[in-house]
Structure 1
Amino acid sequence: MKMVFRWFGEGNDTVTLEQIRQIPGVEGIVWALHDVPAGEEWPMDKILQVKKAADKAGLHMKVVESVNIHEDIKLGLPSRDLYIDNYKKTIVKLAEVGVKVICYNFMPVFDWVRTDLHKELEDGSTALFYEKEKVAHLNLEEQVQRINANPNFTMPGWEPERLGRLTELFDAYRNVTEEQLFDNAKYFLEAIIPFAEKYDIRMAIHPDDPPWPIFGLPRIITGQANIRRFLGLVDSPNNGLTMCSGSLGANPANDIVSIVNEFADRIPFAHIRNVRVYDNGDFIETSHRTTDGTVDIAGIVNALHENDYEGFCRPDHGRHIWDEQCRPGYGLYDRALGIMYLWGLWDANRRKLQSGRMGN
C-alpha cells in the first residue's frame, strides 16, 4: 500500500507540502488543476508548477483527482468528441510528468451532496453531514449559497461555472436514464481506455456520493453489481475503481470487504474513511477508527492486505478538530490521525503474516 495525501495546491489549501511530508509513510500528493473547467485541456505550464512544488518537497504526484468529465460526455451530446479529445491531450501531458492513476467520476451535475458542512459530533468536533429528509426538500439555491459561503476554498464538484448552470443542466438530464448513462460511459471508456493503456495510466472511477439517485438524477456507480458492470464495459486493467469506503459505506447494504475481494486487481486507488449511518438514512463522517462509525475499516484494510494490495491509498474526509480552520473535510489533523490508524491496521496484518511464516 502506497500512502498519499490530497492537496489542493499553493494558495488553495491550508495544509502545506512540508506538513504532508512529515506524516509517516506519505510518499506523494493527490492533486488536480482545480481552476481548469471540466472539458478543457490542462495547460502544461500549470502541471509543471505542481511538479516543481512536489519535487521540492520530496513528494511524487502519481495520482490525479480529478480530471473531470464534461457534462456533454455524460449526456451523450455530439459535442462530447471534442471534450474526449481534450481528455486525451491531458492524459499525454500527465504521462509526461509520471502520473499513473486518474481518479474521476461519472456523476451528473454534483460530485457529492451534504446538507451541513460543520455538523457537531458528541466530542465537539464537526464533520460533513447528510440529512436524508432535508435532501428530499432541499432548496438548491440555498445549498449553492451555503457552498459559496466558503470563498477561500474551491469545493470540488461545486465549481462556480457548474453552479451557474444548474437550471440548464437539470433540464438537460430530465429524460436521461440509468441505462443511457451507462451507454454514455461506455462510449467514453471505449475512446479513453485504449489511450490510457498506451500511456500506462490507470483510470479509476469513483463511486457516487451518496450511492443512490438524488434530485431525480441517475447514478450508476452505487454498489457491487454496478461496479462489476462498469468495469466490464471495457474489460481492461486500465479501467479500474477508486474504492471509496465512505461513499459506498453510506449504504449499509454495500459489502465493501466483498467489493475489495472481488475487484482487488482493478483497484489502483483507495479512499478510506468512515461514516456513521443512522436508521433514518442520515449519515455523518466520523474518525477513521472502525468503532466510531458503521463501516468496517479494519475489515477493509485486512482485505487489501490479504490481496497483496500495492496501489495508492489516502485517508479521506476528516473531522474538523482542535480548532483547525480548513476546507470542509480536508484539514491536516484528523486526516493525519487517520493515516496512522490505517498504518496501524496494515502493520498489524503484516506482523501477523510474518509471524505465521516463522511459525511454519
Structure 2
Amino acid sequence: MNRRQFLSSSGAAALALGSRVDASAPTSSANSNRVLMKLGCQSAPTNDVHLKYLARYGVRDICGYPETSEGHIASTLDELSRMRELAESNGINVLCVGPPVLESSFIDREKHPAIMLAKSPERDRDIEQIQILIRNCARVGLPSIKYNMSILGVLRTGRVQGRGDAMYSQWKLSEAHPKTPLTIAGHVDADMFWERITYFLDRVIPVANEYKIRMACHPQDPGVPPEGYQGVDRVLGTVDGLKKFITIQESAYHGLNFCQGTVSEMLADPGKEIYDVIRYFGSREKIFNVHFRNIRGHRNDFVEVYPDEGDVDMWKAIQVYKEVGYPYMLMPDHVPVAPHDPDGLQSFAYCYGYIRGLIQAVRAG
C-alpha cells in the first residue's frame, strides 16, 4: 500500500473505532473478518499525568503498573483497584498488569532474582506471590499479566544516528563485549533454562486457568548463539524455542507477549519471514499482546527504527493479525530518542498515530 492509498483508507475508517471484546477470555479466530485489535501502550508510570498524556493521543487501552508495597510482588486488591479506577477516570482500560518481578532486567540488578536463579526456597515464595497476584487481578477484573523469563535483560551495543536528530538503539553481536564473563547466575545451559521455565509454568499456569488470567511471556531480546552470552543460552531467543514454550502447558491462558521487534531480531530475513511467524502463533491463539515495532537488519546485527522505515512491511503485518483474528493490543515499544525528547514521548506519540492509522485502514479494507 502506498502513502496515498493508506491515507485514503485511514480517512475512510475514521469513524470505525468501536469494537470491543470480552477481555476476560481468549477470542476465537473464527471472528477474523472483524478487526478487534486496538491501539495500546505499556509505557510507565500509571499515574494521572501519564494517563492524560496517553488519552491525549487516543490510547484507550494499556498495560498498567500498580503501586506495590515495598518488598512485595503481589499488589493488593486496593492497589489494583486504585490503578484501574484512576485509568478509567481518564477514559482508559487496563487490559494487562506488569508486576515488579520477572521484568526484562539484567539479573545482577534484579530485586527479585530467585525464580530465574532457581534458588529455593525463595523461588517458591516468589511464585506464590505471582499466584496471589493472579487471584487478585481476577477479583479486580484485570484480565492479563505480562512477564519475562530473562537473565541477561535487553542486550544492546549502543546507539547510532537515525533520521533528523533521533538516535536508534543497536545490537551488533560482533562488537559486543560483556562487562563480566558471567552474571550471578553463572553458566545456564539450555537444559537448565528449560527446567526453570517449566518449574514456573507448572505452578503458575494451573492457577491462571482457574482464574482465567492470560499469562503473556516476552521473548528474550535479542537471541544469542547456542553457546551462550555471558554463560547463558537464551532458549526463548529463537522461534523454535517459543514454539516449545507454548506447548509446555496446554492452556488457553498460556501464551506470548509477542514482541514483533524481538521476534524479527531472531530471523535471518525478517522482511520475508515474520509474517509466517505471526500466523503460526496467532492461528493458535497464543498472542496476548503485540509490541508492534520495526527493525532494520537481522539476527545478530540490527537497529531499532521508527515503524515506517524498517525491513518489515507493517501494513502487511497488520493484515496478518487481522487474518488470524488477533483481538488485543498493538503497542509501540523501544522507540527512538532525541536530545529534546529523552524519554521518547514524541516518538511514542508518532507511533500511536501510525498504529491507529493502520488499524483504521485495515478496518476499512
Give TM-score, length-normalised by structure 2.
0.77
Q: Determine whether 1:98 maps to 2:157.
A: no
**In structure 2, what is the Cα distance between the partners aligned to 1:68 and 1:308?**
31
Q: Within 5 Å, give how 1:264-275 maps onto structure 2.
A: 264=282, 265-275=285-295
Shift of 1:226: 1.2
Q: Within 5 Å, give how 1:210-249 maps onto structure 2.
A: 210-212=222-224, 213-249=228-264
Q: Within 5 Å, give how 1:330-345 maps onto structure 2.
A: 331-345=344-358
Match of 1:179 among 182, 185, 191: 191
Asked if the contact 1:252/1:277 (under 8 Å) is kept, the reply is: no
Q: Name the counterpart of 2:83.
A: 50
Q: Which runs of 5+ in 2 are unaligned?
A: 1-36, 103-111
Residues 77-131 of structure 1 deviation map (CA, whole Å, 9 limit, x = unaligned): 33222111111111122222221111111111x3212232x53214221232223
**In structure 2, what is the Cα distance between the partners aligned to 1:232 and 1:56?**
39
SS state of the match for residue 44, structure 2? coil
Residues 26-68 of structure 1 deviation map (CA, whole Å, 9 limit, x = unaligned): 2122122587678733344443442232122111112123452
CA RMSD of aligned residues (A): 2.6
Asked if the contact 1:285/1:317 (under 8 Å) is kept, the reply is: yes
Q: Name the counterpart of 1:144.
A: none
Residues 242-288 of structure 1 deviation map (CA, whole Å, 9 limit, x = unaligned): 11111111233363211211111111111110111279x43221101
| Distance change in 2, residues 1:225/1:286 (3 Å) | same
Of structures 1 and 2, the one with the larger relative CO (CA 8 A, separation 6+) is 2
Q: Name the counterpart of 1:126.
A: 167
How much identity, in percent, do the aligned residues show? 26
Give TM-score, length-normalised by structure 1.
0.78
Match of 1:138 among 175, 178, 182: 178
Match of 1:283 among 302, 316, 333: 302
Match of 1:27 among 60, 63, 68: 60
Asked if the contact 2:73/2:100 (under 8 Å) is kept, the reply is: no
**In structure 2, what is the Cα distance between the partners aligned to 1:67 and 1:313?**
22
Q: Name the counterpart of 1:350.
A: 363
Asked if the contact 1:39/1:87 (under 8 Å) is kept, the reply is: no
Asked if the contact 2:39/2:356 (under 8 Å) is kept, the reply is: no
Residue type of the partner of 2:119? L
Shift of 1:306: 1.0
Most deviating of 233-242 and 93-102: 93-102
Residues 136-188 of structure 1 deviation map (CA, whole Å, 9 limit, x = unaligned): x2326xxxxxxxxxxxxxxxxxxxxxxxxxx9x824332x2112211221121
Asked if the contact 2:68/2:79 (under 8 Å) is kept, the reply is: no
Match of 2:73 among 21, 35, 40: 40
**In structure 2, what is the Cα distance between the partners aligned to 1:9 and 1:59?**
14
Q: Name the counterpart of 2:214.
A: 202
